[in-house]
Structure 1
Amino acid sequence: MPCVSSRRGRRIVAVVLLLVAVTVGFFVAGLRNDIIITRYQLGVAGVQSPIRVAVIADTHSCRYDDDQQQIANMVRAENPDVITLVGDIVDDDLSYERGLDTVRHMPEIAPTFYVAGNHEYWSGRAREVKKELSGMGIHVLAGDTEEVDVNGQPLLVSGIDDPDADIYDPQTGNSFDDQAERLRTVSSETPRLLLSHRPERTDLYKSLDVDVIFSGHAHGGQWRIPGLLPNGLYAPNQGFFPKLSRGIHDLGGGRELIISRGLSRESTSIPRLFNPPEILIVDLVPA
């Protein structure tokens, strides 16, 4: 009997150790924070030859290597035609300067366009952020539309502020609704991008003459479990089990919403799970 009990005890210990190893392995794999490149190709009416767009979202003043240039170096290696910064580049708690340094060299790579996110407004320094970025040569959009030449073909880039601007920095004549109305007045056969921090504002996007909308904000739903929670557990302004946290979504009428899971790391109190920070590289090709 003692031998049987001993064998049973060893089996129990082995099972426990195996479960511990699997659990540790699960979380080690799930908590990896290496930046990845996610690639999409999208046919767009009016595009004559491929246009490569880099999408940067939700850097939140996080640390990226000692010189803060990891993201810029990764983007440079992709040789984009246009770079889009879709908000929360600067955080309201972490270093203001570090947030700016993350994107400082982007205009040296390609024409760079920016819209503010909620955290720039929460910081109380949104106007200062916009001034600093504009001084770097970054195009700051707030209800504006600009045209950029990409290899001889025109491309329109529009952008709108985060709606929290109305709460933290209200401006007469430049509210979220004012900006939206200005964007509605633009209609063109030229391919048109829209930068907007929040993905859930789909009613607005469907009212605009745009081809592709780039957003962030949802952080990929923060906790993702392959096969169970592909869109994550929770996203701001969507709640639990969000539908719009990543990937490409057809909004109808030739409009496509592309959502970045973002690049935040230490700025969030809850760590990312099976949700590595990402840079989007989107190739727009003839439809």
Structure 2
Amino acid sequence: MKRKKTPKSPTKGLSRRRFLQWTGLGLGGAALGNAFVREPTALQIERVDIPLPKAPAGTRVRIVQLSDTHIGPFRPYFRRVAEAANALQPDIILLTGDYIEESRNLPGALEFLQLLQAPAGIFAVQGNWEYWARIEGEPLRRQFKKIDITLLINQREDVQAGGIELSLLGLDYPSRESDFLALQEQADPRRANLLLSHVPAFNHEKLDGRLDLICCGHTHGGQVRLPFLSPLYLPRYTGGFVSGLYRVGPTATPLYVNRGIGTSLLPVRFLCRPEITLFDLVGTARN
């Protein structure tokens, strides 16, 4: 006698589809939760070593760069950022713009900035959001001076730290090419020269070798990154420089793009964590 075949369950395929659907929804929800909740405050420290042939071997200066805070009301996250930056024990802190999005947010930004500590000084340039908020220039310089931060508006400031003579050159936003060329002319080729620019895109072909490092922000690293794809959005004046270390111009000048601390337009980050950059500038000259 032949055995009867057991009929297939009519719900077997449906259950599998439901499983895949729920798995997809779960993964999508986890990704959204990561992008909107965890990653915007998942602070990351990037360490970059820059050799300085102009400085004697054995000398070293530690510099922290912060950028693009986009502070509204002051939140505990920003206190954590300040504590993390100070814990790196920098000699100098560099700030590369976009502290606020509206003028009414300035008190929150100042509350954050006055927590920062660096014995050789804190130096800043302004970004496009200060310009759009109409608080750029001398009004912002006066506010920063009250909390011992030097705002550089197309000007040079000399400091000494770690046995190294440095010049900090602040390129304002917005700037013409003539502003950059005039600022570069102020650079003493015998000193270590660092340029602060909010945006990474300017005429790098005009670099003449006097600058030893260019520190920029503005891009947020793309803020939302998908694997194997270019950033979904980049603001104007990025020039294809998204994040990290590049070599630009005729003399391959190091240019570093910081991913920023805050977010803009939407409070979201994906595969693009907020960043504190720690530069170790190390002298390599031998007598």
> TM-score, length-normalised on structure 2?
0.85
Q: Structure 1 stretch 154-163 or stretch 85-94: which is displaced more?
A: 85-94
Counterpart code for 1:35: L
2:234 corresponding residue in structure 1: 235
| CA distances 1:208-267 after superposition (whole Å, capped 9, x unpaired) | 6211000001111122123333xx22211158xx620100000141511000011113x4
Say which SS state the counterpart of residue 226 (structure 1) adopts.
coil
CA shift in 2, pair 1:159/1:181, >3 Å: same
**1:181 match:** 182
Q: Which amino acid aligns with 2:255?
A: L
One-letter identity of the residue aligned with 2:90: P
Task: Number of aligned residue pairs: give it.
Answer: 272
Aligned to 1:78: 88
Q: How does 1:173-252 map to 2 (within 5 A)?
A: 177-178=178-179, 180-203=181-204, 206-207=207-208, 209-229=210-230, 232-238=231-237, 243-252=240-249
CA positional deviation for 1:71: 2.0
Alignment of structure 1 residues 6-85 onto 2, 5 Å = 6-31=11-36, 32-33=39-40, 34-48=42-56, 49-62=59-72, 65-66=75-76, 68-85=78-95
1:17-70, Cα deviation, whole Å (9 max, x unpaired): 122222223333344222221221222222332221100101112456449422
Tell me the secondary structure at the aligned position of residue 22 of structure 2. helix
Counterpart among 107, 122, 130 of residue 120 in structure 1? 130
Tell me what 1:171 maps to.
none
Q: Is the 2:120–2:159 contact (alpha carbons within 8 Å) kept by the matching residues of 1?
A: no
Q: Which runs of 5+ in 2 are unaligned?
A: 1-5
Q: Which structure 1 residue ranges, 5 or more long, are not aligned?
A: 165-174
Asked if structure 2 preserves the Cα contact closer than 8 Å seen for 1:246 and 1:260, the reply is yes
Partner of 2:276: 279
The whole-number CA distance in structure 2 between the counterparts of 1:62 and 1:38 is: 25
What is residue 258 of structure 1 aligned with on the other side? 256
Task: Indicate yes or no: 2:95 matched with 1:95.
Answer: no
- 1:141 corresponds in structure 2 to 152
Cross-structure match for 2:114: 104
The alpha carbon displacement at 1:107 in A equals 4.5
Asked if 1 retains the 8 angstrom alpha-carbon contact of 2:167 and 2:187, the reply is no
State the distance in 2 between where 1:124 and 1:275 align.
29
Q: When the two structures are superposed, what TM-score results if normalisation uses the length of structure 1?
A: 0.85
Q: Give, as a single letter, the amino acid of the residue that structure 1 aligns with 2:190.
A: E
SS at match of 1:114: strand
Distance 1:62 1:55 in 2: 20
Structure 1 match to 2:9: 4
Distance in 2 separating the partners of 1:185 and 1:148: 15
Residue 11 of structure 2 aligns to a residue whose secondary structure is helix
Name which of structure 1's ranges 84-93 and 106-115 shifts more when overlaid on structure 2. Answer: 106-115
Q: 1:106 deviation in Å? A: 2.2
What does the per-residue CA deviation read over 1:107-145, in whole Å, with 9 as the maximum and x for residues that have no partner? Answer: 555511111111111111113221111222112211211
Q: Distance in 1 between matches of 2:124 and 2:193?
A: 15
**Contact (CA 8 Å) 1:90, 1:100: kept in 2 or not?**
no
Moved more, 134-143 or 51-60: 134-143
Question: Alignment partner of 2:9: what SS?
Answer: helix
- Contact (CA 8 Å) 2:62, 2:90: kept in 1 or not? yes
Amino acid at match of 1:155: L
